[in-house]
Chain A
């Protein structure tokens, strides 16, 4: 068969496959907004700063025990309704190589960082196939499984369907600039950091006291 035709067929198939995922049936997309936390502020005040390796980025779930979407509509005595809906989250598991700051002493050799939002396309492939979710860049990490990262983390909470607030570790700012890979930093994507090693050295200088108290 003509190889150009086959190449063209593959091209069309690829475009169609992505279009089906992006535009196709029964999906949701969530966009998460964050405050801008400058790198200098993260270095100066993040309770936990670690270098490590991404072990796992979990698929997204909604914030209840079985991970499915929920919606709560309550009507009061006056007929006034209040509505609450599910929030998506996913988790990044890091193997900690080194703690550069550990103000609250909550460090272990493995950290699970909870991120509000739907996460990376790769991590969500299974969910998309199940009629699940897709993502936007806002809650997407600048790191993938197996990559060496630096992470700026703090103790936080995640609201659960039953109204409780679950204690979790959260990124200090938008995930894309908070859990970042060596390659990402070395590409110059963080304008205030010349390289990964320079960034680590910057943190070491700024947070020597926090590290020394471990």
Chain B
């Protein structure tokens, strides 16, 4: 009996390890998927409480994930959506840039909120930020990736610009290189929404 229990326990531990790795990572690639996903290819977001320049930033971030071939996934702006894109205090300047919160049940995402920290030294234009500024478009593209269900990329493609993955875990201050998706980012979306 004791031996049988040990066998069962060993199997359980191994199963948990396999599942833990499987649900967190796609080891053949740099990208990681959160696990849950939307059960539709068209997801709405509400940016209407943002200023006009920040609405442009939100639109930019969403659009990066909208025309990824062959994925049919699309972000669509709608003022009545409860997928709120907001800008508010998080932890003062120099810390967290943004938080994306995703609600899910049974593997299906039901809601996603993106909050940008209002205290950061943001650059909201389309040109080049100053050396101590945070490029809002790059961070927006990153957060909308989370909103779709994509996690942070493994460190392999996260060493330097200009080909730094959008979904790398951190942002290089003063850079714009995470504005546009790299192949690994597109592969993540195509894997999630083929």
Q: Which segment, of A4-12, A103-111, A141-149, A199-207, faces chain B?
A: A4-12
The residue of chain B having its C-beta at the shortest distance from the C-beta of A82 within the complex is B49
In the bound assembly, the distance between CA atoms of A34 and B95 in angstroms comes to 6
In the bound assembly, the distance between CA atoms of A11 and B106 in angstroms comes to 21
Q: Is the CB of A7 within 8 A of B7?
A: yes
Asked if A174 is an interface residue, CB under 8 A from chain B, the answer is yes
Q: Is the CB of A23 within 8 A of B4?
A: no
Partner of A34, one of B46, B86, B104, B170: B170
Q: Which segment, of A83-91, A93-101, A179-187, faces chain B?
A: A83-91
Asked if B179 is an interface residue, CB under 8 A from chain A, the answer is no
Q: Is the CB of B14 within 8 A of A26?
A: no
In the bound assembly, the distance between CA atoms of A12 and B8 in angstroms comes to 10
In the complex, what residues of B have CB within 8 A of residue A165's CB? 89, 92
Interface of A, secondary structure class, is: mixed
In the bound assembly, the distance between CA atoms of A30 and B151 in angstroms comes to 10
Partner of B101, one of A15, A80, A85, A138: A85
- The smallest C-beta distance from B122 to any residue of chain A, in angstroms, reads 12
How many residues of chain B have a CB within 8 Å of chain A?
60
Partner of A31, one of B4, B24, B100: B100
In the bound assembly, the distance between CA atoms of A80 and B46 in angstroms comes to 13
In the complex, what residues of B have CB within 8 A of residue A7's CB? 7-8, 10-11
Contact A25:B105 (CB < 8 A) given known A1-B4, A19-B23, A138-B169: yes
- The smallest C-beta distance from A206 to any residue of chain B, in angstroms, reads 20
- The smallest C-beta distance from B78 to any residue of chain A, in angstroms, reads 14
Asked if B18 is an interface residue, CB under 8 A from chain A, the answer is yes
Partner of B4, one of A3, A30, A34, A174: A3
Within 8 A of A (CB), among B69-89: 84, 86, 88-89
In the complex, what residues of A have CB within 8 A of residue B101's CB? 28-30, 85-86, 88
* New A-B pairs, 17, CB < 8 Å, besides A29-B102, A136-B32, A159-B91: A3-B3, A14-B14, A14-B19, A18-B23, A27-B105, A28-B104, A30-B99, A33-B96, A33-B99, A33-B143, A36-B173, A81-B49, A84-B88, A116-B91, A137-B169, A156-B95, A159-B89
- Which 3 pairs, one residue from A and one from B, show the smallest C-beta to C-beta distance? A10-B11, A14-B15, A18-B19
> Which residues of B are at the interface with A, using a C-beta cutoff of 8 A?
3-4, 7-20, 23-24, 32, 34-36, 46, 48-49, 84, 86, 88-92, 94-107, 113, 115, 134, 139, 142-143, 146, 151-152, 169-173
> Which residues of A are at the interface with B, using a C-beta cutoff of 8 A?
1, 3, 6-19, 22-36, 80-88, 114, 116-117, 136-138, 154, 156-159, 163, 165, 168, 170, 173-174, 176
